[in-house]
Amino acid sequence: MQTNDKNSTLSMLISIIVSFAIALTFFYGLDHLVMSMQGLPLNPDLSPAG
Amino acid sequence: MNDKHPSNQPERPSTQIRWRHRLWIALSMLLLVSGWVQAAEESTTLNSITPIGVVQVAGEPLIAKITPDIADGDTAEPIAAPRPSRSDYPNIGVSSRAIVWILAQLHLFFAALVLAVPLFVLMIELLGVYTGDERYDNMAYEFMKISLTGFSITAIFGGSLALALFVLYPDFMGYMMHVFGAQVLVYAIFFFLESFFLYTYYYGWNAFRYGNLKWVHLSLGLMLNASGLTIMVLANSWATFMMAPSGVNEVGAVVGNIWEIMKGPLWNPINLHRFIANIAFGGAVVGAYAAFKFLSTNDPVRRAHYDWMGYTSNFIAILAFLPLPFAGYWLMAEIYAYSQQMGITAMGGILAWLFIVQAVLIGTILLAGNFYLWAGMSRTDGSDRYKGLIKYIAVVLVVCFLIWVTPHTLILSASEISLLGGSHHHILGPLGIMPAKNVAVNLMLVATFLSFQLYRRSDKVATVSWAPMGNALMVAIYVVAIVNIIFLGVYYGYFTNTVYKVGSSVVQVASTLVVIIAGIILDTLMFRNAKTLPSHWGRIPDRAQYALFALPIAFTWLMGLMGYVRSSVKTHWHVYTVMKDNSPDNFIPTIAYAGNMITIVTVLFLLCVLFMFWVANLSSTRQAKPAAGGAV
């Protein structure tokens, strides 16, 4: 029973970490993409490159 | 749209019928969209910004001056715009502008309503065909019944407006007729077509109800909408020509064809903005009807019906309202691109204060819409899972609302400035500029979508194996999007240059749209074959219905307000930079005067709407036959 709970918690934790990693990557890319499309490039740290 | 109505599930249509649905929808979309796409393709930026005179875009070669298209040997001179003097304007003892203002606004309110209702009625009717559930059909018919009187009222105000304009502004109307020529007749033809399709659509509802005849009926509805939308875009071209003339030279002489005159730089932004706004407005008005009917009956069956109708109306209004700020943003960006002076008049001059009033009204709409959704959660037993989140959403909405209504520049006396320590408050001052307001608006929209999503989930339990992962991804998208919106607003808004500040607002909009689109896609996939929990239509507090009354009042006032701003940015021009307004009213009135005018028009419209509801009720009321020999 305890092993099942541990597995479930671990699986949930992995889901959360993966989800946040996907969301962070997506929005980071979105910032670069939409700003570049407007002719406003960004540095990797998101500061203005222009 | 509605998957909660308590009833037996109707039979699913056959595959053949579903394919027929899809084919019909595809052809309909093709018909409606093709004209607009063509307009958008041909309306390049370069064409859009060369309406008059010689213009050079930075980094681009000089654009040739537009010259009259005169055939060889034809010496006809193009006619310049008239320059009427004060005495050329008839004086009838009261302000001509006030008369035209009231008539034009009332006409626009009703036109918006009668354009929008058939749009969503057609969608609801189609939903009824697709699901095989006749209640959709009945509700769509009831929506049409409510708005039918509105068509006549629209025509009455439209005719009165045209008459008032010809009598009170003869030179201006003469010039507009000269510029648009036969296009006005096309408008009239579509008006007749719309009337034909309206009456056949409405009165043929029960005659063309089943089988192939239903498709005839749907096609009538489609043609009704196509006619209505064409009328709207034709009329929009008159308004946008007055703001940003194209197809004429610097003195107003016509040098282009009718298409070049119509496709000015503001035409498509106005088309899109009005199209979306009309749907939101129409949904709000018929929602008030449903609320009124809900409150005026104790019959549980009727209360359940009108509760469902109110929910559907609110759904339409809020769903259309969510993308509206982005369409407005596009319109303002195009206004700035066309004329910075015009943009600054709107958002940086006397009219800027009206944008604070706009914030109050939009805040009212969002708070009312959210409140209705929260109250509506009491219909379902499964909503207890989400009710705990409501207080946090409410806090976000209220804080963002307060940021949005914080003004930047206050009108202060010397002693007040001294007490404040300067012309701007040291803490609240930074909240008065656009970056803070962009953050607030986007967070309010995200919060509203969250309310909507929780409401939609409240009667369902996901059964797919990946539901925990799906929920985790949805939470991550919300959290990262909110952080991104705040980061973009604060960092680029306050710590970089203006170009990045403006550019980052587009990313904020994109972030909000990502939340909405991701939410819809994830929920559609996650709740496929979901377990449905019981819900009880009619089980909603009466006070929720008052939110449905608040919506149309706020929408009407807002449309009146922003319509006034749109028209006033022309300042002392009938047609911007081409034909001057020399009438006694050629100035921007005080905010108080404008506020009073907008309020008068709003009250008049609401009175007319009450009349419309009363007439709709009257048609279903039958007087009892007097007893023989009794008093009549």
Chain-chain contact of A15 with B469 (C-beta, under 8 angstroms): yes
Question: A41: nearest CA in chain B?
Answer: B500
pLDDT digits (tens, 9 = 90+) for B136-159: 999 999 999 888 889 999 999 999
A39: closest CA of chain B, how far (Å): 9
Give the pLDDT confidence of B268-325 residue by residue, as tens digits. 999 999 999 999 999 999 999 999 999 988 999 999 999 999 999 998 998 898 888 8
Give the tens place of pLDDT for each residue, B539-558.
999 999 999 999 999 999 99
Q: What average pLDDT score do residues B440-457 get?
A: 94
Place of tokens 């449309």: B559
Going by C-alpha positions, the residue among A15, A46, A39 that lies closest to residue B484 is: A46
Q: B481 in contact with A at a CB cutoff of 8 Å?
A: yes
- Does residue B583 carry a pLDDT above 60? yes
Q: Which chain A residues have a beta carbon less than 8 Å from that of B510? A: 30, 34
Q: Is B380 left (phi over 0), alpha (psi -120 to 50) or beta?
A: beta
Confidence at residue B421, expressed as pLDDT on a 0 to 100 scale: 80
Query: How far is B515 from chain A, CA to nearest CA, in Å?
Result: 11
Amino acid at residue number B113: L
Interface test with B, best of A14, A33, A40, A42 (most B CBs within 10 A): A40
Across the interface, whether the CB atoms of A30 and B476 are under 8 A apart is answered no
* Cα dihedral: A32, A33, A38, A41 (round 10): 30
**CA atoms of B233 and B235, how far apart (whole Å):** 5
Residues 6+ apart with CB under 8 A from B35: B230
Task: State the average pLDDT for chain B.
Answer: 86
pLDDT digits (tens, 9 = 90+) for B382-426: 888 899 999 999 999 999 999 988 888 777 888 888 888 887 788
Beta bridge partners of B472: none
Structure confidence at residue A8 (pLDDT): 81
User: What are the pLDDT digits (tens) for B466-505?
Assistant: 999 999 999 999 999 999 999 999 999 999 988 898 899 9
Using 50, 70 and 90 to split pLDDT, how confident is the model at B40?
A: very low
Nearest to A23 among B469, B480, B503 (CB): B480
State the count of interchain CB pairs (< 8 A) between A and B.
64
Chain A residues touching residue B476 (CB < 8 angstroms): 16, 19-20, 22-23
- Alpha carbons B36 and B24: distance in angstroms, whole number: 19
Q: In this complex, do B480 and A16 lie within 8 Å of one another by their Cβ atoms?
A: no
CB-CB neighbors (< 8 A) of A11 in chain B: 468
Residue of A nearest to B473 (CA): A19
**pLDDT tens profile B110-146:** 999 999 999 999 999 999 998 888 889 999 999 998 8
Whether the complex's predicted ipTM surpasses the cut of 0.90: yes
- Which residue in chain B is spatially nearest to A42 when comparing CA positions? B500
The predicted pLDDT at position B62 comes to 47
Could you say which of B475, B491, B499 has the minimum Cβ distance to residue A40? B499
Contact B574, B172 (CB under 8 A): yes
Contact A23 B496 (CB under 8 A): no
Q: What is the pTM of this model?
A: 0.81
Interval B65-108: pLDDT, tens = 444 444 444 556 778 899 999 999 999 999 999 999 999 999 99
The CA distances from residue B516 to B452, B470, B481, in Å, are 10, 15, 11
CA nearest A19 in B: which residue?
B473
Q: What is the per-residue pLDDT for B479?
A: 97
* C-alpha pair distances (Å), B11 with each of A26, B16, B134, B455: 41, 14, 11, 26
Q: Do B472 and A40 touch (CB under 8 A)?
A: no
